[in-house]
Amino acid sequence: MEFVRKARDLYLDTGTRFPRRIIWAMGGLIKYAAAKVNVELGLLSSDVGGAIMKVSQELMSGKYDNEVVLDVYQTGSGTGLNMNINEIIAKHAYLDLGIKVHPNDHVNLGQSSNDVVPTAIRVAAVMEYVESLRPAINDLIVSLRRRINEFSDAVKPGRTHLRDALPITLGQELSGYLDAFLRDVQLLDYVINFVKGLPIGGTAVGTGFNTHPNFGDEVIKVINEVSGLDFIKVNPFMSMKLLTDLVMLSGAIRVLSLDLHRFGQDIRLMFSGPFTGLNEVDIPTQSEVAGSSIMPGKTNPVTVESLLQAIAQILGLISQSSMPQCLGGSLS
Amino acid sequence: MEFVRKARDLYLDTGTRFPRRIIWAMGGLIKYAAAKVNVELGLLSSDVGGAIMKVSQELMSGKYDNEVVLDVYQTGSGTGLNMNINEIIAKHAYLDLGIKVHPNDHVNLGQSSNDVVPTAIRVAAVMEYVESLRPAINDLIVSLRRRINEFSDAVKPGRTHLRDALPITLGQELSGYLDAFLRDVQLLDYVINFVKGLPIGGTAVGTGFNTHPNFGDEVIKVINEVSGLDFIKVNPFMSMKLLTDLVMLSGAIRVLSLDLHRFGQDIRLMFSGPFTGLNEVDIPTQSEVAGSSIMPGKTNPVTVESLLQAIAQILGLISQSSMPQCLGGSLS
Amino acid sequence: MEFVRKARDLYLDTGTRFPRRIIWAMGGLIKYAAAKVNVELGLLSSDVGGAIMKVSQELMSGKYDNEVVLDVYQTGSGTGLNMNINEIIAKHAYLDLGIKVHPNDHVNLGQSSNDVVPTAIRVAAVMEYVESLRPAINDLIVSLRRRINEFSDAVKPGRTHLRDALPITLGQELSGYLDAFLRDVQLLDYVINFVKGLPIGGTAVGTGFNTHPNFGDEVIKVINEVSGLDFIKVNPFMSMKLLTDLVMLSGAIRVLSLDLHRFGQDIRLMFSGPFTGLNEVDIPTQSEVAGSSIMPGKTNPVTVESLLQAIAQILGLISQSSMPQCLGGSLS
Amino acid sequence: MEFVRKARDLYLDTGTRFPRRIIWAMGGLIKYAAAKVNVELGLLSSDVGGAIMKVSQELMSGKYDNEVVLDVYQTGSGTGLNMNINEIIAKHAYLDLGIKVHPNDHVNLGQSSNDVVPTAIRVAAVMEYVESLRPAINDLIVSLRRRINEFSDAVKPGRTHLRDALPITLGQELSGYLDAFLRDVQLLDYVINFVKGLPIGGTAVGTGFNTHPNFGDEVIKVINEVSGLDFIKVNPFMSMKLLTDLVMLSGAIRVLSLDLHRFGQDIRLMFSGPFTGLNEVDIPTQSEVAGSSIMPGKTNPVTVESLLQAIAQILGLISQSSMPQCLGGSLS
User: Which residues of A fall within a CB distance of 8 Å from D315?
Assistant: 320, 323
Chain C positions touching A272 (Cβ under 8 A) are: 159, 162-163
- The answer on pLDDT for B329 being more than 50 is no
Write down the pLDDT at residue D321: 72
Q: What is the pLDDT of residues B82-98, one digit of tens each?
A: 999 999 999 999 999 99
The minimum CA-CA distance between D306 and chain A, rounded to whole Å, is: 4
Mutation target to probe the D interface, by most D beta carbons within 10 A, among C182, C244, C261 is C244
Q: Which of A77, A122, A127, A128 is nearest to A245 (CA)?
A: A122
Considering only CA atoms, which of D187, B235, B222 is closest in space to residue C248? D187
In A, minimum Cα distance to D107 occurs at A293
Q: What is the pLDDT of residue D290?
A: 86
Q: If phi over 0 gives left and psi between -120 and 50 gives alpha, with beta otherwise, what is residue C258?
A: alpha
State the average pLDDT over residues D216-236: 98
The answer to whether the Cα torsion of C323, C328, C330, C331 is positive or negative is positive
Check: CB of residue C147 under 8 Å from CB of residue D316: no
What pLDDT does B323 receive? 60
Task: Answer yes or no: are the C-beta atoms of D279 and D218 closer than 8 Å.
Answer: no
CA A209, CA A111: separation in Å to the nearest integer? 9
Could you give phi then psi for residue D233, rounded to 5 degrees?
Answer: -90, 135
The CA-based angle A133-A134-A136, given to 5 degrees, is 65
Task: Give the CA count within 13 Å in the CB-facing half-sphere of D17.
Answer: 13
B206 with A265: Cβ contact below 8 A: no
Chain A residues within an 8 Å CB radius of B269 = 328, 332
**Closest Cβ–Cβ partner in D276, D305, D326 for B159:** D276
In which band, very low, low, confident or very high, does the pLDDT at D227 lie, cut at 50, 70 and 90? very high
Answer yes or no: do A160 and B204 touch at CB < 8 A.
yes
pLDDT at B302 over 70: yes
For residue B330, is pLDDT > 50? no
B49 backbone dihedrals φ, ψ, rounded to 5°: -60, -45
Whole-number pLDDT of residue C323: 60
Please check the confidence at residue B288 and state whether its pLDDT lies above 80: yes
Catalytic member of C45, C132, C292, C322: C292
Query: Given a cut of 90, is residue D329 above it in pLDDT?
Result: no
pLDDT tens for residues A62-115?
Answer: 999 999 999 999 988 899 999 999 999 999 999 999 999 999 999 999 999 999
Q: Please, which pLDDT band fits residue A291 given cuts at 50, 70 and 90?
A: confident
Distance from CA of D28 to the nearest CA of C (A): 25
- Across the A:D interface, residue pairs with CB atoms under 8 Å apart total 205
**Nearest by CB: D163 against B161, B277, B319:** B277
Give mean pLDDT, residues A234-243: 96
Is there a contact between A166 and B204 if contact means CB atoms under 8 Å apart? yes
For residue C129, report the phi and psi dihedrals to the nearest 5 degrees: -60, -50
The pLDDT, as a whole number, for residue D323 is 60
Residues B11, B17: Cα–Cα separation, whole Å: 13
Nearest to B305 among D161, D165, D301 (CB): D161
**How much is the average pLDDT of D47-55?**
98
Q: How far is D328 from chain C (nearest CA, A)?
A: 7
Give chain D's contact residues with B (Cβ, < 8 Å): 157, 159-165, 268-269, 271-278, 291-292, 295, 298-301, 305, 319, 322-323, 326
Task: Give contacts of B295 with chain D, Cβ < 8 Å.
Answer: 165
Q: Residue A317: pLDDT band by 50, 70, 90 thresholds?
A: confident
pLDDT for D68: 97
Please compute the mean of the pLDDT values over residues A213-221 and round it to a whole number: 98
Q: Nearest to residue C59, comparing CAs of C36, C16, C90? A: C90
DSSP secondary structure string, A180-213? HHHHHHHHHHHHHHHHTEE-TT-TTTSS-TTS-T
Write down the pLDDT at residue B186: 98
Shortest CA distance from D242: residue in chain C: C259
What's C129's DSSP letter? I
Do residue C331 and residue D160 have CB atoms under 8 angstroms apart? yes
CB pairs B-D closer than 8 Å: 86
Vertex D199: Cα angle to D194 and D203 (nearest 5): 165
Determine which of A293, A306, A322 to mutate to test the interface with D (most D C-beta atoms within 10 Å).
Answer: A293
Instruction: Compute the mean pLDDT over every residue in chain B, rounded to the nearest whole number.
Output: 93
Query: How large is the average pLDDT for residues C190-196?
Result: 98
Q: DSSP state, B273? A: B
Ranges A249-253, B292-296, C168-172: which has the least confidence:
B292-296
Q: How confident is the model at residue B328 (pLDDT cuts 50, 70, 90)?
A: very low
For residue A27, the distance in angstroms to the closest alpha carbon of chain D comes to 14
Give the model's confidence band at B291: pLDDT under 50 very low, under 70 low, under 90 confident, else very high: confident
pLDDT in tens, D266-302: 999 999 999 999 999 999 999 888 888 888 889 999 9
- Which region among A22-26, A169-173, B9-13 has the lowest average model confidence (pLDDT)? B9-13
- Which residues of chain C form beta strands (DSSP E)? 155-160, 163-169, 197-198, 232-233
Contact A262 B209 (CB under 8 A): no
Comparing CB atoms, the residue among A173, A252, A332 nearest residue B251 is A252
For residues D271 and D260, the answer to whether their CB atoms sit within 8 Å is: no
Q: What positions of D carry a catalytic annotation?
A: 161, 292
User: What was the pLDDT predicted at C324?
Assistant: 46
More confident residue, D325 or D96: D96
Distance CA C69, CA C109 (A): 22
Give pLDDT tens digits for C32-51.
999 999 999 999 999 999 99
Of C161, C164, C298, the CB nearest to A274: C164
**What mean pLDDT is predicted for residues D207-232?**
97
- Whether residues B164 and D291 touch (CB distance < 8 A) is answered with no
Average pLDDT over residues D85-105: 98
If you measure CA to CA, which chain C residue comes closest to D329? C161
Which chain B residues are closer than 8 Å to D298 by Cβ? 160, 163-165
A17 to chain D, closest Cα gap in Å:
12
B vs C, Cβ pairs < 8 A, gives: 206
CA distance D325 to chain B (A): 9
Alpha carbon of A250: minimum distance to chain B alpha carbons (Å): 9
Q: Are A39 and A46 in contact (CB under 8 A)?
A: yes
For the cut 60, the answer to whether the pLDDT of residue D108 exceeds it is yes
Residue A164 CB partners (closer than 8 Å, separation 6+): A157, C273, C274, C275, C276, C277, C298
Closest Cβ–Cβ partner in C162, C274, C326 for A164 = C274
d(CA A292, CA A283): 17
Within 8 A of C271 by CB-CB distance, chain A residues are 162-163
Letter for the amino acid at B255?
A: V
